[in-house]
Structure 1
Amino acid sequence: MAAATATNDSLWQTIRDEARRAMAADPVFGKSLADAVLVHDDFGAALADLIGRRLGGDATERARFTAFALDAFRGSPELIEAAGRDLQAIVRSDPAIASLLAPLLHFKGYVALQAWRVSHWLWRHDHRDAALLFQNEASNVLQVSIHPAAQIGASVYLDHATGIVIGANVVIGDEVTLLQNVSIGRSSELPTRSPRIGRGVYIGAGATILGDISIGDFAKIGAGTIVTSDVPGGCTAVGNPARLTNCPEPASVA
């Protein structure tokens, strides 16, 4: 936990340095940077305020969402660690991004994912109505609907992040990238079971993943693919219905 705290402190200092440089380069934009970044003492406070700004329609709602987020971050500091890893994953994954500040302030997929982290914390602490409120507002405002009962790892990137739907009890591992219009959830045949997405999986735009299935580590799901059966690790699934291609060669036996 001490190492995570040090990493978050370093990350926060980098963000503040980027904000100061941006203010010097563009004083008109600088006021918004001061309000969003420089007035806050730490990354958690800035992130809670960001969630409140994006989800709250007026000052009262903004304060309520911010307060919920602050409670979650104070109750579970690992949420801040995950948020930092998510932010760094965007910079690693997106060649158009060269700084932490831009995705923090402007990428709705990032704030939607952090709002989900708060909603999941609320859900686990039996604040179900508040958790569903977060889901509803994120869906209405950000076009991203993630059920509070889902489970999502860290270093996750919701790229473009319009029309993403992730249902209850879906499990998503670390280092996963999802593009726009992805749906992951239960099927009508097995309504009590949801997909399990492994580490490092890439899910292309418009893909649908349904049912009691597993997507193995580092698999790729092509754009528009409909997946209703398991995808082994390292394979690429394309088409409707999905077919497998580019699977790793099985290890030879001496």
Structure 2
Amino acid sequence: MSFANHLHSGYQSRKYDIDKKKIEDFIDRLFRFIFFLEYQQCSELADIELRLNHFKREFKEILSSVTQENESIKTEKFFESFPEIYHLLENDAKTIVDNDPAAQSMEEVMFSYPGFFAIAVYRFAHELYRSKIPLIPRIWTEFAHNKTGIDINPGAQIGRNFFIDHGTGIVIGETAIIGNNVKIYQGVTLGALYVTKNLQNITRHPTIEDHVVIYANATILGGDTVIGENTVIGGNVWITESVAPNSVVFHKGQVTVKNKFPTDEPIIFSI
């Protein structure tokens, strides 16, 4: 079989007839529209309603590429969830402003913070994941991953007032559960102890309770691992067991600092 024939066979047998670029472009444009990031403003209420209806029709078309069951009902359900998701995201943005001394305004967060973009895409993708919509949720979160370096599986459960600072290198697995008012810094991994296919339908990733702070490059693994509320996880720690509430966990390394010009050694310059 020639390579062209192999490709032809693949196109003929693929399960979903999708346009990946169109699916990515949809969530990117929707984000920019609902958070007022477009240069062209909608000055009239009728203009906004027209744009929303256009997004709804476009989403229905995208949905029909991955499912042939009740596209209209699922589209309506998705858009009916917008007010609740939007309220969550406004609170996420406010949490970032309230906690990051570098954040000057909600507008700055919405325009420029990669953590907020990743959270927003995740929250929309999670709604589709809950409705058992195939493929689209993962395409959206991987699109955000590619743009921000933040990898949030759409199956993760994340509570209110979520704060990601910097964000690059964060990994949050499918069965992770994150409570309310949690702060996570760059390089954090909420992962599985080990990965095999037969673990697909069980909890593999940790639970993070309310008011937890996890500093840079901490790794927390395992489906039985629970980080209790009001706990602070320091940078660079490796955790595979549960931590009691109100704990402080830190990695105690040894750093040596010495004068690079010891006083008992002569300094000789050659010119």
TM-score after normalising by structure 2: 0.63
Q: Tell me if the contact between 1:225 and 1:240 (Cα under 8 Å) persists in the aligned partners.
A: no
Give the equivalent residue in structure 2 for 1:204.
215
Give the equivalent residue in structure 2 for 1:89.
95
Q: Distance in 2 between matches of 1:41 and 1:220?
A: 47
- CA RMSD in angstroms comes to 3.4
Q: Tell me if the contact between 1:164 and 1:182 (Cα under 8 Å) persists in the aligned partners.
A: yes
Give the equivalent residue in structure 2 for 1:217.
229
Show CA shifts across 1:13-39 (max 9, x none).
xxx9xx9xxxxxxxxxxxx7644xx43
- Select the structure of larger CA radius of gyration: 2
For structure 2, the 5+ residue unaligned runs are 1-34, 64-73, 254-271
Q: Does 1:136 align with 2:142?
A: yes
For structure 1, the 5+ residue unaligned runs are 1-15, 20-31, 53-59, 242-254
Over 3 Å counting, the alpha-carbon distance change for 1:135 and 1:199 in structure 2 is same
Show CA shifts across 1:125-155 (max 9, x none).
1212001101221111211111111100111
Show CA shifts across 1:176-218 (max 9, x none).
1100111102212895332110111000000100012110111
1:210 maps to a residue whose letter is: L
Give the equivalent residue in structure 2 for 1:183.
189
Matches within 5 A, 1:209-248: 209-211=220-222, 212-239=224-251
Deviates more, 1:230-239 or 1:195-204: 230-239
Over 3 Å counting, the alpha-carbon distance change for 1:200 and 1:114 in structure 2 is same
* Structure 2 counterpart SS, 1:218: coil
Find the partner of 1:195 among 189, 197, 206: 206
Give the equivalent residue in structure 2 for 1:161.
167
Deviates more, 1:206-215 or 1:135-144: 135-144
Structure 1 vs Structure 2: percent identity of aligned residues? 28
Q: Distance in 2 between matches of 1:173 and 1:40?
A: 38
Give the equivalent residue in structure 1 for 2:85.
79
> Which structure is higher in helix share?
1
Paired residues in the alignment total: 195
TM-score after normalising by structure 1: 0.67
Over 3 Å counting, the alpha-carbon distance change for 1:201 and 1:228 in structure 2 is same
Q: Distance in 2 between matches of 1:73 and 1:226?
A: 40
Q: Does 1:39 align with 2:45?
A: no
Give the equivalent residue in structure 2 for 1:108.
114
After TM superposition, give the deviation of residue 40 of structure 1 in Å. 7.4
Over 3 Å counting, the alpha-carbon distance change for 1:69 and 1:239 in structure 2 is farther
Over 3 Å counting, the alpha-carbon distance change for 1:125 and 1:226 in structure 2 is same
Over 3 Å counting, the alpha-carbon distance change for 1:188 and 1:33 in structure 2 is closer
